[in-house]
Structure 1
């Protein structure tokens, strides 16, 4: 069984990695996640994954006298609609506004993944197109009352109740969840890691 350091608090990313057969050890990576003025979603999400990784590596070396024994993985996911970044809503009103904008429309979900190991860092970006059905005000209100939208980019979780809003998905289901399996496995293979159970 391979072991990974995961610098993310996302239970979804941890679950995906554990389902692939990894032992996952959480480590911290605290950064400022504010987008730059006029920053494009693809640039933003890749910068976040890279900065989280750099912060995790820096914190590792500050606390240990040796290089990390296992790869350090970071990821960031954001939702973009008409070139606007939709992060995690801070209020229920923001969540309602985001969901109303996505209603009946196609948006993009971008997930960037970075891995550091043995002095090298590699990254990958995965983008999916997601189309929502038209949402009624009642559906939006009920979904917000469930509490699910409040800690998720774009104010919904595809693996939960928010999945009922998805009319069409072109791309990676796990990428929309927060960690694209195919791309992540390819990234780890660049470091010579073969993924169970195929090892």
Structure 2
């Protein structure tokens, strides 16, 4: 069986793959994450996941490599990771009381084939007061997350409901990823 590499420094993606019992290593490589202004969110998230996978695969062609990226979209506008506190506050104000989409793109590649897919989940936020937003910002949690929140942490208190895959909002749609890995002959461990 080929080695499995996760091309991501995200602790959430690492935890998710461990949760479903895959044996893997983590390798990352710098990638250009600039997007073309005319790309759809779907094209953008697939492009980003492919770039991450390609960068690591070029250094480890003997492996099966998973690249993933998550974006938040409100009114067709992609919200990336905030560059400072004011940007994070602005994003959370935009999301307050509104429905938005979280898209996670995944690319899996080996020397024999490549597959890309994305998963979209609709997320409804509660109406947020400035005090709630400031308290959340004070936690430090929003600053490395697309859209300035993490559903698996304190950000869970901001979310009213989701329609779709919870794990995709965290950064990796587990069921679809596992099924796709099976087509690459990669299986999880059956016991510790």
1:58-97 equivalences in 2 (<5 Å): 58-60=58-60, 67-68=61-62, 70-97=63-90
Which residue number corresponds to residue 164 of structure 1?
157
- Superposed CA RMSD in Å reads 1.7
The farther-off stretch of 116-125 and 177-186 is 116-125
Moved over 6 A (4+): none
Which residue number corresponds to residue 16 of structure 2?
16
The farther-off stretch of 35-44 and 75-84 is 35-44
Which residue number corresponds to residue 27 of structure 1?
27
Mind listing any 5+ residue stretches in structure 1 that lack a counterpart?
61-66
The farther-off stretch of 181-190 and 131-140 is 181-190
Once the two structures are superposed, residues 104-140 of structure 1 have per-residue CA deviations (whole angstroms, 9 ceiling, x without a partner) of 0000000011111233111111000000000000000
CA contact (8 A) 2:98 2:124 kept: yes
Match of 1:136 among 129, 141, 146: 129
CA contact (8 A) 1:29 1:53 kept: no
Q: Does 1:101 align with 2:113?
A: no
Do the aligned partners of residues 47 and 140 (structure 1) sit closer, same or farther apart at CA in structure 2, a change above 3 Å counting?
same
Q: TM-score, normalization: structure 2?
A: 0.94
Q: Give the secondary-structure state (helix, strand or coil) at the position aligned to 1:23.
A: coil
Which residue number corresponds to residue 117 of structure 1?
110
Mind listing any 5+ residue stretches in structure 2 that lack a counterpart?
none
CA contact (8 A) 1:53 1:74 kept: yes
Once the two structures are superposed, residues 129-188 of structure 1 have per-residue CA deviations (whole angstroms, 9 ceiling, x without a partner) of 000000000000110111000000000000000011111100111100000101101211
Which residue number corresponds to residue 5 of structure 1?
5
Q: Which whole-Å CA distance do the structure 2 matches of 1:119 and 1:161 have between them?
A: 41
Q: TM-score, normalization: structure 1?
A: 0.91
Q: Does 1:152 align with 2:145?
A: yes
Q: Which whole-Å CA distance do the structure 1 matches of 2:29 and 2:114 have between them?
A: 16
Q: Does 1:188 align with 2:150?
A: no
Q: Which whole-Å CA distance do the structure 2 matches of 1:104 and 1:54 have between them?
A: 38
Q: Which whole-Å CA distance do the structure 1 matches of 2:189 and 2:23 have between them?
A: 11
Offset, 1:2: 8.5
Q: Give the secondary-structure state (helix, strand or coil) at the position aligned to 2:33.
A: coil
Which residue number corresponds to residue 51 of structure 1?
51
Q: Give the secondary-structure state (helix, strand or coil) at the position aligned to 2:59.
A: helix
